[in-house]
Amino acid sequence: MIFLYGAHRVAGHASARPATRPRFTHTRTTGNRRRLTTFAGVLLALTCASACGAGTSADGQAADTVRRLGKVPIPTAPAAAPTATASPGHPQLVAMGAPVQATLPDGTTALITTTGPATDPPPTGAKPGTVVTGVITVTAKPQTGTLRLAAADLASRDQTGANITLTPVGPGQVTASPGHPATLTLSGHFHQGGAQINWRHDNHVLAIWDFTIEID
């Protein structure tokens, strides 16, 4: 405690008295810090206990469910559909886009795939009977031997049985060999509804691809 004294003369006498009234400031921080630290520790302990208890409870519920219902098997991806195999006297009917594994009398084996028809957009306001132009591609990938694809070996019919004329877009005949696939492109005029294209080899129908034309 520090006092400041000043000299004052009162009636000719000098007296000593405090010049300024002392102010005392005392901040009690130690106890507050202790209480805050204790409170934080209790809160942390309660939070940990709650989290640990919730985790233990969830694990227990999961284990109980497994005991009651048994483990659920993880589903496996469905196996791909087997490729249809065709040979003279054993033709295959498949959807457009599906491959057909063909075996010919001379020992040639090849994978034949068709895609399409890729059609032009119908004119605005087209009615169901409108005819659209579509393009079909036929691709041969031989594993053994050499295969010749010709437009004359492919024919198309609509759902009424009427023939659909197919015109080559580019070469009318292509030849494929192992490692060298070949594609034949054909164009036709199609009505709305179901149709099909078939492939013949030596006058034997080996594959028929079915498709539908929709005009919206």
82-118 per-position pLDDT tens digit? 899 999 999 999 999 999 999 999 999 999 999 989 8
Give residue 158's pLDDT band: very low, low, confident or very high (50, 70, 90): very high
SS3 61: helix
Tokens of 117: 């028809």
**How does strand 92-95 pair with strand 204-213?**
parallel
**φ, ψ dihedrals at 3, nearest 5°:** -110, 140
Give residue 78's pLDDT band: very low, low, confident or very high (50, 70, 90): low
SS3 202: coil
Only one residue has tokens 């070949």, namely: 182
Question: How far apart (Å, rounded) are the C-alpha atoms in residues 106 and 118?
Answer: 34
147 against 42, higher pLDDT: 147
Global confidence as pTM: 0.62
